[in-house]
Structure 1
Amino acid sequence: MTSELKPKIVVLGAGVAGLTSALLLARTNLYDVSVIGKFLPGDLDIEYTSPWAGANWMSFVKDDEVLERYDRITYAEIARLAKEHPEAGIWPKKVIEYVRADDLIKNNPLLGGLLDARPWFADMTPNFKQLTPAEMPKGYVQGITYDSYCFNPLIYLPWLVSQLLSHGVSVRARTVSHISEAFAHHASGQPAHLVVNCTGLMACRLGGVMDDKVYPGRGQTVLVRNHAPAMYDITGCSDADDELTYIMSRPAGGTILGGCYQKDNWNATPDPNMAQRIIRRCLEICPELESEGKLDIIRHNVGLRPSREGGPRVEKEKREEGWVVHNYGAGGAGYQSSYGMATHVVELVGEALAS
């Protein structure tokens, strides 16, 4: 089918959700796809979540078959990419997770399957193992380890763009204030048949969407040049209920130290006191981070996770202008669920255009 005859689709949003959705749609060779976004890879802005993400696969899903499917599909695809496309910036890395006694008692819903001795992905991830007390630091009552992956967003997002360009997809900077405007921004100059809405956190402000269930989950991290031997995750911390402890080593060097999850907090300025607490907690679980007795700090980061009450919105909607397929609200799971959510988008686009 020539591009003139293919249904025209505009993907609104150029974060990991939008770029991945566009790529899977383009791979079908059934659609003429264009991507527009207020921000593009290379931009750094507090409204543009994807560059600030820790960006790994460390599932916290519990008792949700839809979200499990998203994570399962994504794990298989990034395992393939890590092997076949090392230039994509995806790195195989061992995960070590520890559970504190207090968190076992609280059963914090944010922690999901991390509190299960044998979570749903145990039979899927290579080298899954339950840790014995002798294998954990003092003060932890449960632990697991398995093989997973970490992304470097500053490499991976431009790689996604390169893949889109190789499929003939236009990627352009455009700002729209209402979802209906996106129909007029296909690269062909013709009206789009369908829009895929991947506006993330800004779905709460986009005209025609204005989703009041969407909120920022503020995260603060410290990027250092030091290297960690694994990715670490702790179920909570004693400093504050909304603070977390995690370590993510990245492809091409550098390690992310985190963090926090502060609901409805839009503040883009790093808190120096929190940064010190983050560093202290990370060194307690991974003293190997310090080389020659110090941390080599590159940058203090703040990102706003595009979270949503009730979970992500992946569904189709018939509007006067045409069909819209929504894909936003993944919160902290944007990368680890990206291919699964985009696969769902492709299914919904097929259903919408067939109708």
Structure 2
Amino acid sequence: MTKNIVIIGSGIIGLSIAYLLLLESKEEVKSITLISQHFPDDKPIDHEYTSPWAGAHFRPFPHSNDNYLNDKRESNYTRISYDFFKNYLVKKHPESTVEITRGFQFFENPPKSFTECADGINGKSLEGFKILKNNDLLFKSKFGCQYFNFSLNAPKYLIFLQNQIFELSKKQSIPLFIKRMKLKSLHEVTKLFNNTDYIFNASGLGLQWDGTYDQNTYTVRGQTLLVEAPPHTKFENETHVYYGQNDHLTFVIKRPSGNNYDKPLYILGGTKEKDCFDIMPSKLATERILDDARIIFPELLINGEFKILNINVGFRPFRKGGSRVESETISNVKIIHAYGFGSMGFEVSIGAARHAIQLMSSEFSPKL
């Protein structure tokens, strides 16, 4: 049976679902409709549109004792995404901007889960994982590890996905409809498109059938800096994350194929501010990031200063207990929820999208 599919949200999760439906699924798709307030080629980019502001790299995490099953599920998503990026996009689509690099994490107060190489942060599922020796540690860190990861240019990657969706739908003669609007409820979809068979709910904070939002979701504000750097630094092939005192997180992530600039561009961050909705850059946060980075990552300085090109502010959709990827049926419409991924959207994107599509049907055959 052919299926009319509606995807709510054009962030990294919604676009990944549409892309894999067209690239990999054996399902007979009759039509795809994308509903969103924002799209990748919008200018300027709205602060409510989270995905383009992301640092966008792979950073593994241990499975916590109190949330083990969800952590394991989300960790598995990241490994699936990494494999897809490495074995398919890097080889077949260099224009996607995805690059395989080395990732490093450093801790001043290392958690036991890291020092003991707990599930999710060891060589069993991480390519090239190893614990760093003391003379390889940065600044005041007392523990560090490395592994292979990926980085990408978030705005350009989203446009790549959008272009692929347009091209694949045209090639397969599957009608693709774009609807720019703010939905009041999932129920509204069936009023607008009364032939809908499946709804993929990639709405970030989890819009529900009755117009409410998932009570377990919440927003975390993030602020980062887009900076230029001298050529030929180690950061051209490495991402670094440094966990300091007072929960201060400082990181540097390359933006591959960066925004038509000849010189390397990097995301320098960052902050995590729960339930803060200020779209204006915080001077205090900027100064904190720069003060830490000046000490930890001095290689980024140009003539003793940071060359800041932009201050990024985005709002990440977190969910207590982990993301929601599951299905439910209401009024004969099957809804597949895929939201609440917080700051891991790009890391989990392919794995979460495949899981969501599997919930639509058991017939799913990846073709890499």
Distance 2:341 2:139 in 1: 34
Aligned counterpart for 1:176 among listed residues 178, 183, 202: 183
Displacement after TM superposition at 1:26 (Å): 2.2
Contact residue 225 and residue 311 of structure 2 kept, 8 A: yes
Task: Report the TM-score, using the length of structure 2 for normalisation.
Answer: 0.84
Contact residue 186 and residue 207 of structure 2 kept, 8 A: no
Distance 1:40 1:22 in 2: 13
Distance 1:336 1:121 in 2: 17
Aligned counterpart for 2:77 among listed residues 70, 81, 85: 70
Contact residue 10 and residue 183 of structure 1 kept, 8 A: no
Give the counterpart letter for 1:303 in structure 2.
G
Change (3 A) 1:337 1:116: farther
Counterpart for residue 330 of structure 1 = 341
Aligned counterpart for 1:304 among listed residues 292, 315, 318: 315
Alignment of 1:92 with 2:94, yes or no, is no
Contact residue 201 and residue 339 of structure 2 kept, 8 A: yes
Counterpart for residue 255 of structure 1 = 266
Counterpart for residue 197 of structure 1 = 201
Where does 1:134-283 land on structure 2 (aligned, <5 Å)?
Answer: 134-168=135-169, 169-185=176-192, 191-201=195-205, 203=206, 207-226=210-229, 228-229=235-236, 230-235=238-243, 237-238=244-245, 240-241=246-247, 243-253=248-258, 254-283=265-294
Identical-pair percentage: 30
Contact residue 161 and residue 171 of structure 1 kept, 8 A: no
Distance 1:47 1:194 in 2: 26
Which segment drifts farther, 332-341 or 54-63? 54-63
Give the counterpart letter for 1:196 in structure 2.
F
Distance 1:174 1:223 in 2: 30
- Secondary structure of the structure 2 residue equivalent to 1:336: helix
Distance 2:123 2:91 in 1: 21
1:241-295 Cα shifts (integer Å, max 9, x gaps): 4x42111111013111111111122221211121011012123222111133222
Displacement after TM superposition at 1:170 (Å): 3.4
Which segment drifts farther, 220-229 or 160-169? 220-229
Alignment of 1:20 with 2:23, yes or no, is no
Counterpart for residue 132 of structure 1 = 133
Change (3 A) 1:178 1:9: same
Change (3 A) 1:265 1:115: farther
- Displaced runs of 4 or more, over 4 A: 113-116, 204-207
Task: Report the TM-score, using the length of structure 1 for normalisation.
Answer: 0.87
Displacement after TM superposition at 1:321 (Å): 5.4
Change (3 A) 1:310 1:45: same
Distance 2:34 2:357 in 1: 15
Counterpart for residue 53 of structure 1 = 54
Contact residue 139 and residue 296 of structure 2 kept, 8 A: no
Structure 1: runs of 5+ lacking an equivalent: 108-112
- Secondary structure of the structure 1 residue equivalent to 2:306: coil
Distance 1:73 1:92 in 2: 14
Displacement after TM superposition at 1:217 (Å): 1.2
Number of corresponding residues: 333
- Secondary structure of the structure 2 residue equivalent to 1:18: helix
RMSD between aligned residues: 2.2
1:57-90 Cα shifts (integer Å, max 9, x gaps): 1122424321122111111011121222110011
Distance 1:185 1:153 in 2: 31
Contact residue 204 and residue 214 of structure 1 kept, 8 A: no
Change (3 A) 1:47 1:302: same
Counterpart for residue 110 of structure 1 = none
Structure 2: runs of 5+ lacking an equivalent: 170-175, 259-264, 364-368
